[in-house]
Chain A
Amino acid sequence: MTSPSNSGNGGGSSRSLIVKDLVKAYVPGKPVLKNISFEVRGCSTVAIIGPSGTGKSTLLRCINRLIDPTSGTITVAGHEITRLSGKDLRLARHHVGMVFQEFNLVERLSVIENVLCGRLGFVPVWRAWLRKFEQHDIERAFELIDMVGLTEFATQRADSLSGGQRQRVGIARAVMQNPDVIMADEPTSSLDPKTSVEIMGLLNDFSKAHDIPVLINIHDVNLAKRFADRVIGMSLGSIVFDGPPAELTDDHLKEIYGGEDWLS
């Protein structure tokens, strides 16, 4: 299977994610994800909301096969990746960028080196080892660092940064991959409210600038409504709401989360 060249040319239909009838059961007979189906295309910020344990993280990790689905299909940029393994799977993962709740940076490396880690799938091992990345990679990395507003921190160690700054590096790293889809697993859960808004804004900006769909797991419903143009609500492993945030009523939220006290 050949993977499409990761040239970065936009085109609404090439940047797409199609999930069909996805089922994941850790214990046979007790599925955590029950026939999940949805499609995302082009410039779009999709917020996935739902209570803890409803399978949001599992869903994201099934998409890039960090967890293997039990059944169903996942198609990224026109290529079905559910059955891939080994080198093909590794190459397919280039198309999906991921941002993590705990940032998952390599603390002892510098910011620029962390961002360049996004290119590790594309450069030979010796270049990674001797840090002899090609000039265009280095320039792109600096560009991204400028775009996330960390210009003066570029050569500092990652562990000298604050939480919000580290998440920016995480986003830059994911974008460095030139992916067709970006997924963010609770990117703001470890951050304070002001920084959370900045990070959500950043993800939105990248989606628009590169015409990429961005999937965000989030449990702050207000943030979701504010920044997403589409909300998917999950409850007990199934999708119970899929539409624009304007249509997300309190009844829907009750169905998704249960209970009323938390509704403002």
Chain B
Amino acid sequence: MTSRTWERFTPGQRLARFSIYLASVIALVVSMRTVQIVPEFLYDAPAQMADMFERMWPPDYAYYPGGVHEALVESMHIAGMGTILALVMSLPVALLAAKNITPVPALNWLARLILVSSRSVNTLVWAILFVAVFGPGALAGTIAIGFRSIGFCGKLLGEALEECNKGPVEALKAAGAPWPSIFLKAYWPQVSPAFWGITLFRWDINVRESAVIGLVGAGGIGMALDTAIDLFRWTQVSLILLCIFAVVIVAEIVVTKIRQKII
């Protein structure tokens, strides 16, 4: 009598999974051996960190009105305007990337290339580029945030567009409606909840990003942070970090509340 066995995975699947485990382990081992770390620094690290925290406490609250407040507000504006800029730029790219809206493969590919490039280059790197073009200040920062966000918003928006129910689109096409009207009345009502959700999500991330782009000169609180670090004013550094933390937490609470109301 043959016994029946049960296997969770087919042999092919097992091989694939094992290969990935193996490859990951190899990658890890190779990396750890080739990366250049001075072990002494690693062992020294806890002591160094303790020393640093000691110097950072207590935070210099008095510094806030003069050195921090304006810069913080500037960062918030950069985040807000950058997100709005990104929305305006990413909508057309998302339309081009959605296969059901633009059935031209070359345009789809171009749109996806734009989205991938935007996502691959870090906000900080975009900030460096735009500081070179527009000079230091908030203009460079706003555009950097905008350009980085195109990839994020455009990809999610394009996916939402591709998942639209085709039925109403067919109905409006059969009624002889022009394409812009078909978009407004059949596609847009379906994607608009996703659109606003993506906007909020990205704004939340942009609040964090705009806080640090000042480190390369693109405006906002990052510039104050940069100054404080360069001058070794650790108590100011800790104040700035606390402010950033507070702003990020508040932004998250706001986003969560709005999400709960809309969805």
Residue ranges of A at the interface with B (Cβ–Cβ < 8 Å):
64, 66, 90-94, 96-98, 100, 102-109, 113, 117-118, 120-121, 123, 125, 128-129, 170, 173-174, 177
Contacts and interface: CB of A to CB of B under 8 A. Distances in A.
Contacts of A92: 176
Interface residues of B, number: 20
A117 B177 CA distance: 8
B175 interface: yes
Contact of A121 (B177, B184, B190): B177
Interface in B28-83: none
Nearest to B182: A120
B180 A117 contact: no
A132 to B, nearest CB: 13
B167 A104 contact: yes
A104 B175 contact: no
24 contacts: A90-B177, A93-B173, A93-B176, A94-B176, A97-B175, A98-B171, A104-B167, A105-B171, A107-B190, A109-B185, A113-B185, A117-B171, A117-B185, A120-B178, A120-B181, A120-B185, A121-B175, A125-B181, A125-B184, A128-B180, A129-B184, A173-B171, A174-B175, A177-B176
Interface string B166-201: 011011111111101110111001101000000000
Contacts of A106: 168, 185-186, 189-190
Contacts of B172: 117, 120
A93 B178 CA distance: 11
A128 B176 CA distance: 14
Given A106-B189, A109-B189, A117-B185, A173 B168 contact: no
A177 B190 CA distance: 23
Contacts of B175: 93-94, 97-98, 117-118, 120-121, 173-174, 177
Given A120-B172, A129-B184, 18 more contacts: A97-B174, A97-B175, A104-B167, A104-B168, A105-B171, A107-B190, A108-B190, A108-B192, A109-B185, A120-B177, A120-B182, A121-B177, A121-B178, A121-B181, A128-B181, A128-B185, A129-B180, A177-B175
- Nearest 7 A/B pairs, CB to CB: A93-B176, A120-B177, A121-B176, A104-B171, A104-B167, A108-B189, A98-B174
A175 to B, nearest CB: 11
Given A93-B176, A98-B175, A177-B175, A104 B170 contact: yes
A223 B182 CA distance: 34
Contacts of B185: 106, 109, 113, 117, 120, 128
B177 A66 contact: no
Contacts of A100: 167, 170-171
B146 to A, nearest CB: 25
B171 to A, nearest CB: 4
Nearest to B193: A108
Nearest to A87: B178
A198 B181 CA distance: 32
B174 A93 contact: yes
A72 to B, nearest CB: 19
A117 B174 CA distance: 11
B170 A66 contact: yes
Nearest to A109: B189
A172 to B, nearest CB: 12
Contacts of A174: 175
A170 B167 CA distance: 12
